[in-house]
Amino acid sequence: MPTNHGVLVRRYAPHPALGRHQVLDARSLAYRRHHRGETLRAVRWQPTIPVLNQQDLFAQDIRTSAVVPGAPDADAVGSCTANAAAVALSVLLSPADLEHAGLPVDDTAEAERWALRLYAEATAVDEYVPY
């Protein structure tokens, strides 16, 4: 099997019934946390923002062209990365920090706009994207 930066790379064809699956590259694997035998305990985190909807953006009065200058209008976006990040931040940040970041906790459409802007900004500074 080939290696990539000292990391074993296994290639396989996923079964189509499994749906989405993760294939991590060396950059992602660098952030692994190795289990050291500690007792695991269940933790339930409660997001403080509403459930975001990356579909039906027009019905939410969201125009991607208004959120991200130069972007075409799209009624749905295919990446859930920014929505997951927004939810994670809503769990991790205090109410004051959420307000300072501009992430609204009481308006689904505004929170979705915030997530879209976050994704656009993160993509612009991603050192691994060549454009």
Task: At 56, list the tokens.
Answer: 């039906």
Spell out the residues 6+ positions from residue 101 whose beta carbon is closer than 8 angstroms to its own. Answer: 89, 93
Residue 129's pLDDT band (boundaries 50, 70, 90)? low
User: Which phi and psi angles does 85 have, rounded to 5°?
Assistant: -65, -40
Q: What is the pLDDT of residue 75?
A: 92
The stretch 46-70 carries a mean pLDDT of 92
Q: What is the pLDDT of residue 56?
A: 92
Amino acid at position 70, single letter: G
Q: What is the pLDDT of residue 63?
A: 94
Q: What is the pLDDT of residue 29?
A: 80
**Helix or strand (DSSP H, E) at 26:** helix 26-29
Model confidence pTM above 0.85: no
Length of the chain (residues) = 131
Angstrom distance (rounded) from CA 83 to CA 41: 26
Where are the domains positioned within the chain?
39-131
